[in-house]
Amino acid sequence: MSTDQGGGGTAGSLRSGPPIAPEEAAIGCRNVTKTFGRVTAVDDVDLAVRPGEWLSIVGPNGAGKTTLLNILNGFYDPDPGGEVFLDGEAVTDTPEHYRARAGLGRTFQGLELFEDEDVIENVMTVRAVTECPNLLSALLFYGAGRKTEAENMRRVEEILDYLELWEYRHSKIAGLPLGVRRRVDLARSLALEPDVLLLDEAMSGLTFDEKYDMIRFLSDLHEQEDLTLVMIEHDLEVVTAVSDRMVVLQKGGVLARGAPEAVTDDPEVARVYTGVD
């Protein structure tokens, strides 16, 4: 069960296949461990996500899911010996903004939005900041004139329209329902036109209808834009319905991986989730 076997998914979306090496993956890692003092948050994890695949990461609270995502996107460095690959390139030593520009987007479990700014400003900021990761490039960026800003705005407007956020574009984040806020976070992650999107519990706390909307948007992006998705999610029903493959983390390590139906039938996985045999 712990081999990187292929797996099925929903009918017509069999994106998984034979195992591939992390170097060949849309996003991948090898021997990734992360310790914080005496806590081993991630313990020797290998991962290889195929281009166009929808992979779900599940596991109990504290299993290391968010830490793994933070290593993939460059927020944390892995412990020495760990490697991260993005679209065939070794990116272990590259900073977060480099990976964002190279096509890696992410959403945040705790929604890191600017509460006092409106929806458009929240999404525009991403494009401006990543265009200008430092002061010099910021000066050059703004020195380049308004045309780039106008182009950025047009793209942001397209994203807001696509995610049905247009009516909220001038609303401040504070006061918006959670479902809309999570969608703004998704809009921010799409602002840099990623090829791979890391989602950290993007449906957490949502109502049934809000969840349904989120799944609809993600499915469209996956099917129409061929976006590779790596999704941390607790709802196994959602995971089984949408994913090509899933990985179960427990105490930082990989407990099981494979086709969702096979993994969720695994008695060891059931035991971890329910605490009973």
- Under the rule (CB under 5 A), what is the footprint of Mg ion? 65-66, 109
Cα–Cα dist 44/174, whole Å: 40
- Look at residue 59 and give the partner it binds from ligand ATP, Mg ion, none, a contact being a CB closer than 5 to 8 Å depending on partner kind: ligand ATP
For residue 259, the 8-state DSSP code is -
Q: Which helix (H) or strand (E) element contains residue 202?
A: none
List the interface residues with ligand ATP, window 172-201 (CB under 6 A). none
Among Mg ion, ligand ATP, none, the one that 9 touches (CB under a kind-dependent 5 to 8 A) is none
Instruction: State how beta strands 54-58 and 228-232 pair.
Output: parallel
Q: Is 36 a residue that touches ligand ATP (CB under 6 A)?
A: yes
* Residues 126, 192 contacting (CB under 8 angstroms): yes
Residue nearest to Mg ion (CB): 66
Residue whose structure tokens are 């313990």 = 43
* Element (DSSP H or E) covering residue 91: none
Q: Which is nearer to ligand ATP, 76 or 168 (CB)?
A: 76
CA 116 from centroid of its chain's CA atoms? 25
Q: What angle do CA 208, 66, 238 make, to 5 degrees?
A: 25
**Which segment (54-62, 114-122, 237-245, 260-268) binds ligand ATP by CB under 6 A?**
54-62
212 binds, among Mg ion, ligand ATP, none (CB under 5 to 8 A by kind): none
Q: Which residues contact 186 (CB under 8 A, 6 or more apart)?
A: 107, 163, 202, 214, 217
Q: Tell which one of 20, 49, 55, 63 touches ligand ATP (CB under 6 A).
A: 63
Residues within window 70-109 making contact with ligand ATP, judged by CB under 6 A: 109
Task: Say which residue the tokens 């480099």 belong to.
Answer: 98
| Amino acid residing at 63 | A
Residue 228 near residue 20, CB atoms below 8 Å: no
64, interface contact from Mg ion, ligand ATP, none, CB < 5-8 Å by kind: ligand ATP
Interface of this chain with ligand ATP, residues 106 to 165, rule: CB under 6 A: 109
Tell me which of Mg ion, ligand ATP, none is bound by residue 39, counting a contact when its beta carbon lies within the kind-specific cut-off of 5 to 8 angstroms: ligand ATP
Minimum CB distance to Mg ion smaller for 66 or for 243: 66
- Only one of the segments 13-21, 60-68, 93-101, 141-149 lies at the binding site for ligand ATP (rule: CB under 6 A); that segment is 60-68
Tell me which residue of 96, 94, 114 sits closest to 106, measured CA to CA. Answer: 96
**Does residue 64 bind ligand ATP (CB under 6 A)?**
yes
State the residues that interact with ligand ATP by CB under 6 A: 36, 39, 41, 59, 61-67, 109
